[in-house]
Amino acid sequence: MALTLEMETVTKTFDEFVAVDRLSFSIREGEIFGLLGPNGAGKTSSIRMMIGITGPDSGSIRLFGHSLSREGLDRVGYLPEERGLYKKMKIMENLVFLARLKGIATAEAKRRANQWLERFELGGWANARLEELSKGMQQKVQFIAAVLHQPDFMILDEPFSGLDPASSLALKDALLDLKKQGRTILFSTHRMDTVERLCDSICLINHGRSVLLGALREIKVGYGRSSVQLEYEGELPLLHDPALVANFNDFGNYVELRIAPGADPQRLLETAMRTARICKFEIVEPSLEEIFIDTVESTTRAVGSHA
């Protein structure tokens, strides 16, 4: 299958600081790809290189099978994390201007913009200035700006942040429609629940390096059914027993934990029942969030011990 984007040992350094360190991954045509990582991991720096805002110090980036060119970049849609449109201009003017920069004729841009505005229930706002809109509405306009020229490859940095549940749902449906049309989507986010439901593949980066890469399904299977979700009332001192529990995320009366290697889940349940009333006990695949935290912690430790 054709590759939409290929990053090969891409490195970007600002002064002494290595923002992106020999990063390699590729995105297949038509998939939804998650670029994950904690704040400051190098996600934005990587994206800026993908759309040619900055150039890599070394390594190569290929887009649609060719090195970066204006023609290729015009087929890319970009939703930046820090939203940016002209506040004093009307919604329609903003949209038409940005679409024309991508080579779309005015009339066509207007037609498409109206369709999208209707879809996101912004039909009556075309002639309002951007600054009159709420943050969530501006966000939807920004998304429309990114898709108006029908890009084959969309780069969306935190697209769901600031959206209410109804808008999130509308956006998710829009994304799935785009995927059905065969468009490739790159998500950059640290919201794992979204990624878990939408992404086909992920690349987790930390300190500019790729620390986990592959199809989401395979990654999860690789981690095995070693996680336990437990609802309880009372105390669970066993959480601090390294012989039973590798790590955990306690919410007070709900806990997600990873069983220590070699430990028996049955013994864990027995021990738990002695100190607490157990309402639910389920052995599951680890959630992406667990994998994320686990991987980030271990790689950060590794980097820390090197330094």
Partner 1 sequence: MRKILLVIQREYIVRVRTKAFIIFTVLMPLLMGAAVILPGRLMMQSAGTRHVTIACADTELAATMKSELESSRASDDEEAPAATDETRGEKRGSKQDFAVTVESAPNEELRRNLTSMVRNGALDGFAWIEPDAIRTRKATYYSRNSSDFIESTLVSRALRLALSERQLAGHGFSAAQAKTLLGPVDVNNVHISNEGATQSNGLGAFLLPFLLLMAIYMTVLIYGLYVMRSVIEEKSSRVIEVLLGSLTPMQLMAGKIIGVGAVGLTQIGIWALAGTVLGTGGFAMAGRMMGDSLKDAHISMTVLALFPVFFLLGYATYSCMYAAVGAMVNSDEEAQQLQFPVTLPLIACIVVATAVIRDPNTPLAFWLSMFPLTSPIIMFVRVSENMPPLWQLALSIALSLATLYALVWLSSRIYRVGILMYGKRPTLPEIVKWIRYS
Residues that bind partner 1 (CB under 8 A): 48, 51-54, 73-74, 76, 78, 80, 82-89, 97-98, 100-102, 145-146
Closest to 28 measured CA to CA, from 2, 54, 8, 9: 2
234 φ/ψ angles, rounded to the nearest 5 degrees: 125, -150
Q: State in angstroms the smallest separation of the CB of 67 from partner 1.
A: 16
Could you tell me which residues come within 8 angstroms of residue 125 by beta carbon, excluding any fewer than 6 positions away? 91, 117, 132, 133, 137
Residue number with CB closer to partner 1 (73 or 174) = 73
Q: State in angstroms the smallest separation of the CB of 227 from partner 1.
A: 38
Residue number with CB closer to partner 1 (27 or 98) = 98
Q: State in angstroms the smallest separation of the CB of 149 from partner 1.
A: 9
Q: State in angstroms the smallest separation of the CB of 82 from partner 1.
A: 4
Q: State in angstroms the smallest separation of the CB of 100 from partner 1.
A: 5
Residue number with CB closer to partner 1 (126 or 278) = 126
Residue number with CB closer to partner 1 (7 or 50) = 50
Residue number with CB closer to partner 1 (36 or 98) = 98
